[in-house]
Structure 1
């Protein structure tokens, strides 16, 4: 199956956010590590950088926006799921050019690929509730 450049960008942004969550290293250092260990010709680089840099820049607001939909404390969320939700929340809030169904589907696919057995169900549940607030105009 051919992977789209945007899917690969989301995947790498999620991995970079996960790395940042676990290490606390500078975003520039993480971005460089990702770029040197992956074939970036298959990645929508500007989309990757937009998600990574702006999600981290707006992290507090993104976490606050999605918190009511988590159903548990943020510190109880698996780090992989947290990174996926942060990528998707950034897209839902700041990338209205991307249809919400695409954002949710991509997040579910990332959870299936990288998360625990049923993490895609949790991610889907959170985003399905959050989208009603974040994209209420698009849903009507």
Structure 2
């Protein structure tokens, strides 16, 4: 009984002693990024049908928007073949305009190019931009093209 009373008496002290502002720094509570500027893909993976017509992958600038345009280079790989399964409508390097945080890479999908029940993979890789790092965990985006 004494133990229960002690617990009940101390329980309010646990809540009263916590100041949320002391637990987190300003970046955590305001959800701001204060590291070096980076570029990243979003999403990092997507499934599409070859009959969808097109799809797009977003390149995001992580950090403050820039005062000048940013050229970002990307490359492709995988077992999907350009001209057979897809065409990239947006050439590399792509320009992230000043004052913006995103730009889309548009990929045209060629209808009926993948045999029934099969899948090919297109991998986009960020190669970097003018003085901006590539985010390590989001440097590639995989597109699975199915029939």
| TM-score bracket for the superposition, by shorter chain length | under 0.3
* Higher helix residue share: 1
Q: TM-score, normalization: structure 1?
A: 0.25
Higher RCO (Cα < 8 Å, 6 or more apart) = 2
Larger Cα-atom Rg: 2
* Higher strand residue share: 2
